[in-house]
C-alpha cells in the first residue's frame, strides 16, 4: 500500500503573543500575571489577551517540545496533540524506513509483513518472487539472483525446492491430496523437470504472459483410430520456488493432466481457470501463511481472461457445488 506521511507545520507563537519591550512605565495596579496572579512591573508577555511575567510565561505557558522538553519558537509540528520541534519530530518521532533507516516524510509502502519503507526503494531494489518482500540486508538478510528476472530472498531461500527427492515426495503428497477431492486417474509417476528461466517455459509452452509462467505440462500421445495410446506427460516447473508455491504450481499442472487423462475438453477460457483451482486449494490449506494469502489475493485480482477471469468463474462454481459436483459438470462447459 502506498501512502503519504502528513506533516503539519504551524507558525510560531509570535502570531499570538507579544513581548512588551517598552512597557517600563510606572506601576500598573490593574495588571496582574494570569499564571501567578501577582502584579506585573516592567516587561511582560501577552498571550491570548492575558498578561504574564516573562519568567512565568517561559516556564509555564510557552510551548515546549514533547521530546526534548525545551521551549519552542518558530515552526513546529503537532502529532497526536503533542508539540515537537521540527528536527525533533523528524529525527525521533517520524517513522523510519526499514530499508535505509531514514525518516519517512513522503510516499511510503507498508507491506503485508509489517515492513515500512520509502516508495522509491521499490523501483530501485529487487523483490523476492516468492514472498514479494523487498530484498535488503535489514528486511530479508539479503538474497540471491537466479537470473536477470528472478530474485529470491534469504528468508524464502531455505524453503525453496531444488532437490529431486524433495520433488518426488511433494508429488506423492499433492497427488494424494487431489485424489482425496475426487480428482482421480492421475499417474503415480510423472517426470518433473526444474527450469531456471521463465523464458524457457514460455518457449516450451508457447504461452506468453507478462509475468511469465511458473509451470507447464507437455502432453504427447499416439492414436489408433480414435483411441489414444502411448500417452506421455512431462511437467516443467521453475526451480527455486518456495515449497508452498511449488506445491500450488504442481497442483495446477496435475489438473491439466487430469483433463488430458479423462479426455475433458473445456472452453479455452476456462482451462487455466479450472487448473488454478488446484493452486487455490493448496494455498487455502496454508491458511496462516502470508505467502499463501498474497498469492490468493493476486489470483483474485488477476485481469488475465484465462488465469484471472476464468479462475474466478470456476472458483464460484466450486464454492457453489463442491468438488464432486463440479467434476461431473466439467464436460457441460
CB-based contacts of 174, cutoff 8 Å, min separation 6 = 247, 250, 251, 254, 282
List the one residue out of 275, 280, 239 whose CA is nearest residue 254. Answer: 275
pLDDT in the model for residue 19:
45
Q: Is 12 helix (H, G, I), strand (E, B) or coil?
A: coil
Q: What is the CA radius of gyration of the chain?
A: 33
- Whether residues 134 and 254 share a domain: the answer is no
- Whether residues 226 and 266 share a domain: the answer is yes
Q: Is 102 helix (H, G, I), strand (E, B) or coil?
A: coil
**Rounded Cα gap, residues 11 and 77, in angstroms:** 9
Report the predicted TM-score, pTM, of the whole model to 2 decimal places: 0.76
- Whether residues 152 and 168 share a domain: the answer is no
**Rounded Cα gap, residues 308 and 131, in angstroms:** 20
Residue 65: which domain range?
2-93
* C-alpha cell recorded at residue 189: 509417476
- Whether residues 82 and 218 share a domain: the answer is no
Q: Within a domain: residue 100?
A: no
pLDDT in the model for residue 10:
42
Question: For 237-262, what is each residue's pLDDT tens digit?
Answer: 999 999 999 999 999 999 999 999 99
For 118, the enclosing helix (H) or strand (E) is strand 116-118
- Whether residues 142 and 171 share a domain: the answer is no
Q: Are 197 and 175 contacting, i.e. CB atoms less than 8 angstroms apart?
A: no
Residue 331 DSSP class: G
pLDDT in the model for residue 29:
53
Q: Which residue bears the cell 520433488?
A: 167
Last residue of a domain, one of 123, 139, 157: 157
Higher pLDDT, 188 or 14: 188
Q: Which bin fits 202, alpha (ψ -120 to 50), beta or left (φ > 0)?
A: alpha
Provide mean pLDDT across the span 320-333.
87
Q: What total of structural domains would you count in the chain?
A: 3
- Whether residues 191 and 229 share a domain: the answer is yes
Pairing of strands 192-195, 227-238: parallel
Q: Within a domain: residue 147?
A: yes
Is the pLDDT confidence value at 280 over 70?
A: yes
For 318, the enclosing helix (H) or strand (E) is helix 311-329
- Whether residues 15 and 84 share a domain: the answer is yes
Q: Within a domain: residue 135?
A: yes
Q: Within a domain: residue 322?
A: yes
Q: Within a domain: residue 99?
A: no
Q: Within a domain: residue 79?
A: yes
Q: Within a domain: residue 198?
A: yes
pLDDT in the model for residue 6:
45
- Whether residues 117 and 128 share a domain: the answer is yes
Dihedral sign from CA coordinates of 131, 132, 136, 142: positive
- Whether residues 178 and 299 share a domain: the answer is yes
- Low-confidence winner among 2-16, 114-128, 137-151, 291-305 (lowest mean pLDDT): 2-16
- Whether residues 265 and 241 share a domain: the answer is yes
% the chain with pLDDT above 90: 59
Last residue of a domain, one of 116, 139, 157: 157
pLDDT in the model for residue 47:
85
Q: Within a domain: residue 172?
A: yes
pLDDT in the model for residue 289:
94
- Whether residues 80 and 146 share a domain: the answer is no
- Whether residues 74 and 207 share a domain: the answer is no
Amino acid at each position: 500500500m502506498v501512502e503519504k506521511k502528513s506533516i503539519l507545520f504551524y507558525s510560531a507563537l509570535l502570531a499570538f503573543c507579544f513581548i512588551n519591550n517598552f512597557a517600563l512605565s510606572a506601576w500598573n495596579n490593574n495588571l496582574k500575571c494570569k499564571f501567578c496572579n501577582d502584579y506585573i512591573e516592567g516587561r511582560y508577555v501577552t498571550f491570548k489577551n492575558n498578561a504574564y511575567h516573562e519568567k512565568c510565561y517561559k516556564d509555564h505557558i510557552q510551548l515546549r517540545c514533547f521530546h526534548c522538553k525545551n521551549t519552542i519558537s518558530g515552526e513546529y509540528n503537532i502529532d497526536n496533540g503533542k508539540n515537537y520541534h521540527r528536527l525533533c519530530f523528524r529525527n525521533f518521532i517520524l517513522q523510519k524506513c526499514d530499508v535505509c533507516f531514514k525518516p519517512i516524510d513522503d510516499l511510503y509502502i507498508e507491506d503485508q509483513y509489517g515492513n515500512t519503507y520509502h516508495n522509491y526503494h521499490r523501483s530501485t531494489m529487487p523483490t523476492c518472487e516468492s514472498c514479494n518482500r523487498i530484498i535488503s540486508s535489514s528486511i530479508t538478510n539479503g538474497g540471491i539472483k537466479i537470473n536477470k528476472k528472478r530474485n529470491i530472498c534469504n528468508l524464502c531461500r531455505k524453503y525453496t525446492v531444488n532437490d529431486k527427492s524433495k520433488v518426488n515426495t511433494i508429488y506423492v503428497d499433492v497427488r494424494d491430496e487431489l485424489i482425496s477431492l475426487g480428482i482421480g486417474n492421475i499417474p503415480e509417476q510423472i517426470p518433473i523437470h526444474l527450469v531456471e528461466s521463465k523464458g524457457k517455459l514460455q518457449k516450451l509452452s508457447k504461452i506468453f504472459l507478462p509475468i511469465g509462467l511458473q509451470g507447464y505440462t507437455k502432453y504427447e500421445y499416439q492414436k489408433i483410430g480414435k483411441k489414444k495410446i502411448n500417452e506421455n506427460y512431462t511437467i516443467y516447473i521453475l526451480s527455486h520456488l518456495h515449497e508452498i508455491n511449488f506445491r500450488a504450481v504442481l497442483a495446477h499442472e496435475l489438473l491439466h493432466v487430469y483433463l488430458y487423462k479423462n479426455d475433458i475438453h473445456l472452453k479455452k477460457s476456462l482451462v487455466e481457470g479450472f487448473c488454478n483451482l488446484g493452486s487455490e486449494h493448496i494455498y487455502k490449506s496454508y491458511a496462516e501463511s502470508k505467502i499463501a494469502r498474497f498469492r490468493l489475493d493476486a489470483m483474485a485480482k488477476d485481469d488475465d481472461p484465462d488465469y484471472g477471469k476464468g479462475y474466478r468463474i470456476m472458483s464460484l462454481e466450486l464454492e457453489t457445488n463442491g468438488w464432486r459436483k463440479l467434476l461431473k459438470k466439467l464436460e457441460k462447459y
